[in-house]
Structure 1
């Protein structure tokens, strides 16, 4: 497992833990409790997939990426709703950027897979 792959897993794992805290951090409106609960479920499953991927189960990577994209997409409405506090919009932006970075780190081909030594 390459260093970049591990870094991507750690980043996506931290985002997953953040999703788990969503229902505790919401005021019920930003994000709505239903979105926070969905995000929490996505975070829990993502965290399990991070552990599997860390242990070498490469088949866990694609579902992990899909779940993290879905989680990031759940933050996108914050950019378009009119009554969302600036802090929530900033947090949504950070979540989207970190998700893209974590996924990119997972998808960078490692030297051991490419046969380069």
Structure 2
């Protein structure tokens, strides 16, 4: 479970890194895409560290991924957001929750 969660969070991190290349500058705005890319890079570093056994990397990783998911929430409330962007935001929030749960449950199982 632990590594499966890290894979999910790692894939989300890579997606964040690619976001500035995928945005049209409006959905999401370029500033949001750049912040997401920074969170993605930091998260990816933490994923690699956690994969190698650094237990101290797990909590900061989950916090960064949660911040990234919070950044997707405005898609649900802003007017004129395209349906695919809303679906992507929903997927990010859901996958972040799944990844965090898998990592935390897996970490607890490893600690026993």
Paired with 2:52 and 2:111, the residues of 1 have a C-alpha distance of: 17
Distance (whole Å) between structure 1 residues aligned to residue 111 and residue 29 of structure 2: 42
Residue in structure 2 matching 1:80, options 44, 58, 77: 77
Aligned residues: 110
User: Are 1:21 and 2:18 matched, yes or no?
Assistant: yes
Tell me, which stretches of 5 or more residues in structure 2 are unaligned?
A: none
- Structure 1 runs, 4 residues or longer, greater than 3 Å off: none
| In 1: Cα distance, 2:97 partner to 2:29 partner | 23
Which one has the bigger helix percentage? 2
- Within the alignment, does 1:100 sit opposite 2:97 as a pair? yes
The two structures have a TM-score, normalised by structure 1, of 0.92
The Cα shift of 1:107 comes to 1.1
Distance in 2, Cα, partners of 1:32 & 1:83: 13
C-alpha separation in 1, matches of 2:33 and 2:111: 37
Matching of residues 1-117 of structure 1 within 5 Å:
4-108=1-105, 109-110=108-109, 112-114=110-112
Alpha-carbon distance in 1 for matches of 2:9, 2:27: 22
**How many angstroms does 1:113 deviate by?**
1.8
* TM-score, reference length from structure 2: 0.96
Deviation at 1:21, TM superposition (A): 0.4
CA shift for structure 1 position 18: 0.2
